[in-house]
Chains A and B, each alone.
Chain A
């Protein structure tokens, strides 16, 4: 198929796209690196100067930094756990033949089409609000004190909201994978004396390994940058109870106008994201090999 000439031609033809993408990535990264080494505060224009690694020191010694790291990990791990386990269960359920299957499948995907800001606002005002929310009404109807989700357990509430958004993605990917499983394999396992749980563990789960890996990798990348849901619900509070790394960068650059420290935080976030990515690929990346 591929001769020397055709390979050269192929490389030539994709090179503009590659160069464009490279520039797209390198320029913002380069600018962020540059800003992170500058003393650059929007409240003091014209005072920019080179400060070396001071910005990094400020960011790393910020009292909110430790909390932000913990919250970021808790958010990512919490959402990952809920969406993969929940997605797996939902996929198993949706794979069963039942009346109205088509409609139910569309409904399950629906949350994915709602903008993060909108869904977070709906959760905040219509469900979790301690006065008007549905949960408050439910609690009152059985004589309980309404629970103020967003101030009592802000991080868990955000995990819940973000999970609700990502559950359809996980369900969809796992359902397609489940449907690609050869039914004869399940029947063979049934004849071999495997009960429902053994069939799930020994036949379905290995078949789903690759899909689960994809779900975990893609979600991790997106979850590390969760922002809108925090901004419209808790603003990172109370205190730093729901401040993540992304949100801390936002606080530094746009609430304290310190672009330099914000940029340093951005670089630190990139490095941490890469560490997580390498870690993940080491752990589960082998599932992606054919």
Chain B
């Protein structure tokens, strides 16, 4: 159904190679998240799959068919754009009905499908409004509605939540996840936010400068990052890296330890330091501790009563230590 395979897909804009040859296998029904810093080529890769950009080399297969040369509409994919790209002069109903109208479905069938989509997305009361009269979250839902009525092989989302406020983002994240549970359609989701990636994905593809750094489930990436980039990108707050003599003790060029794998004590421990900033969140406390290895992020319990200037001792959990070589590859 919605199986997508990229074989040596490349993209150049003039002289600049934005995407070096990439191989990727996306299984039917999977929720795949492309994550990476801004400008790393996530949108470009998504647009190559959608057919909105021509590949410079390689093959895109959808459902076992070679779709490299197929027009966007022929690929059976639906896309939700970052700007939503709703048609401003059409009502919500007409927006959602547009792809069906283009497919020349009979009016009764269109009506039924639009009503069904509106019900799923809680839009039934807004069908006669124009996009300009809707809130950000509602527009987002209209864009999703326009995508689901087509019954696509796969959904493509390009940073769909980046224009929403924090609370709404959490809500929509849940709604999209639930939608995936109920539709069981392949979804490819682009974001620069690793929290979205970790919470929603079946499979995360970490990109940097157009290259795939690692592919795996959220926990795989968290537990066994393949290199320093992935280790630093996945997980919040960021992993601490220590180089030099301390790393050499573990036979590595650099060692990495996540904030949640460091134990804090006021009396004894491996490394001594001074608390710089402490962020009390209630459930957790994030400490920025200045040590001889630089500033380390530490996650302590919510009730920890430590403040600026306090002396603390840190003990890393040796079982959770990550070791990296000169080139940044993980040592096992």
In the complex, chain B residues 50-78 whose Cβ is within 8 Å of any chain A Cβ = 50, 52, 71-73, 77-78
Q: Are A193 and B78 also in contact (CB < 8 A) when A188-B85, A207-B89 are? A: no
Residues of B within 8 A of A289 (CB): none
Partner-contacting stretch, out of A69-77, A129-137, A198-206:
A198-206
Q: Does A185 contact B (CB under 8 A)?
A: yes
Distance (whole angstroms) from the CB of B49 to the closest CB of chain A: 11
In the complex, chain A residues 126-166 whose Cβ is within 8 Å of any chain B Cβ = none
- Cβ–Cβ contact B52 & A191, under 8 A: yes
Q: Does A62 contact B (CB under 8 A)?
A: no
- Cβ–Cβ contact B85 & A194, under 8 A: no
Task: Report whether over half of chain A's contact residues are helix, strand or loop; otherwise say mixed.
Answer: helix
- Alpha-carbon separation in the docked complex, A189 to B73 (Å): 9
Q: Per a CB cutoff under 8 Å, which of A187, A193, A202, A206 touches B81?
A: A187
In the complex, chain B residues 68-106 whose Cβ is within 8 Å of any chain A Cβ = 71-73, 77-79, 81-83, 85-90, 98-99, 102-103
- Cβ–Cβ contact A185 & B87, under 8 A: yes
Distance (whole angstroms) from the CB of B139 to the closest CB of chain A: 13
Interface residues on B, range: 20 to 34
Residues of A within 8 A of B146 (CB): 188, 192
- Cβ–Cβ contact A192 & B102, under 8 A: yes
Residues of B within 8 A of A203 (CB): 87
Q: Per a CB cutoff under 8 Å, which of A184, A194, A206, A209 touches B83?
A: A184
- Cβ–Cβ contact A190 & B81, under 8 A: no
Q: Are A190 and B98 also in contact (CB < 8 A) when A184-B81, A184-B85 are? A: no
- Alpha-carbon separation in the docked complex, A193 to B72 (Å): 8
- Cβ–Cβ contact A190 & B87, under 8 A: no
Task: Report whether over half of chain B's contact residues are helix, strand or loop; otherwise say mixed.
Answer: loop
Residues of A within 8 A of B90 (CB): 206
Residues of A within 8 A of B71 (CB): 190
- Alpha-carbon separation in the docked complex, A193 to B152 (Å): 12
Residues of A within 8 A of B79 (CB): 187-188, 191
Distance (whole angstroms) from the CB of B136 to the closest CB of chain A: 16
Distance (whole angstroms) from the CB of A31 to the closest CB of chain B: 46
- Alpha-carbon separation in the docked complex, A190 to B82 (Å): 16
- Cβ–Cβ contact A192 & B89, under 8 A: no
- Alpha-carbon separation in the docked complex, A189 to B146 (Å): 11
Chain B's closest residue to A203 (CB) is B87
Residues of A within 8 A of B87 (CB): 185, 188-189, 202-203, 206
Residues of A within 8 A of B72 (CB): 187, 190-191
- Alpha-carbon separation in the docked complex, A209 to B89 (Å): 10
Q: Are A193 and B73 also in contact (CB < 8 A) when A188-B79, A198-B102, A202-B98 are? A: yes
Best-surrounded residue of B78, B82, B102 (most CB of chain A within 10 A): B102
Residues of B within 8 A of A206 (CB): 87, 89-90
Residues of B within 8 A of A187 (CB): 52, 72, 79, 81, 85
Distance (whole angstroms) from the CB of B53 to the closest CB of chain A: 10
- Alpha-carbon separation in the docked complex, A182 to B82 (Å): 12
Residues of A within 8 A of B50 (CB): 191
Q: Per a CB cutoff under 8 Å, which of B52, B85, B86, B99 touches A193?
A: B99
Chain B's closest residue to A198 (CB) is B102
Chain A's closest residue to B47 (CB) is A187
Distance (whole angstroms) from the CB of B140 to the closest CB of chain A: 14
Q: Per a CB cutoff under 8 Å, which of A185, A202, A209 touches B85?
A: A185
Q: Are A191 and B78 also in contact (CB < 8 A) when A184-B85, A185-B87 are? A: yes
Best-surrounded residue of A182, A192, A206 (most CB of chain B within 10 A): A192
Residues of A within 8 A of B73 (CB): 190-194
Q: Are A182 and B85 also in contact (CB < 8 A) when A187-B52, A191-B79 are? A: yes
Best-surrounded residue of A182, A187, A203 (most CB of chain B within 10 A): A187
Q: Are A193 and B102 also in contact (CB < 8 A) when A182-B83, A185-B87 are? A: yes
14 residue pairs bridging A and B, Cβ less than 8 Å apart: A184-B83, A184-B85, A187-B79, A188-B79, A188-B81, A188-B85, A190-B52, A191-B50, A191-B73, A193-B73, A193-B102, A193-B103, A202-B87, A206-B87
